[in-house]
Amino acid sequence: MVSTDFARQIAGYGLTTAGILYRLPDHPSILQEYIWQDYDLAPRFPELNKFLAFWQTKLDGKLFRITVAHKDLIGPADLSAVSGEFRLQ
């Protein structure tokens, strides 16, 4: 059985990390950071956008800034035959 995460990577999803700065509801002059991480599709980021929509409708902390990093985990590999064995390069 193939893991869900692996299947998503094959489908083009990559590991996405978002640093979300938000204002504390009781002390709006204070910022706090929340780190969100999941597999998502760049550049549209549907999973992150779904999470941010949830945040804005259900949570009190007003969003201040979101920084996003994305990495494709699975990509093409170079193979070569060495002494009758295939090795990744």
| Amino acid letter for position 43 | P
Residues in the chain: 89
Query: Rounded to 5 degrees, what are φ and ψ at 14?
Result: -130, 160
Check residue 37 and give its pLDDT: 97
Check residue 17 and give its pLDDT: 96
Would the pLDDT of 8 be above 60? yes
Check residue 74 and give its pLDDT: 54
Check residue 86 and give its pLDDT: 53
Contact indicator for 52, 45 with CB cutoff of 8 Å? no
Q: What is the mean pLDDT of residues 49-57?
A: 98
Sign of CA dihedral 59, 61, 62, 64: negative
Find the helix or strand (DSSP H, E) in which 48 lies: helix 46-58
Rounded Cα distance, 34 and 48, in Å: 13
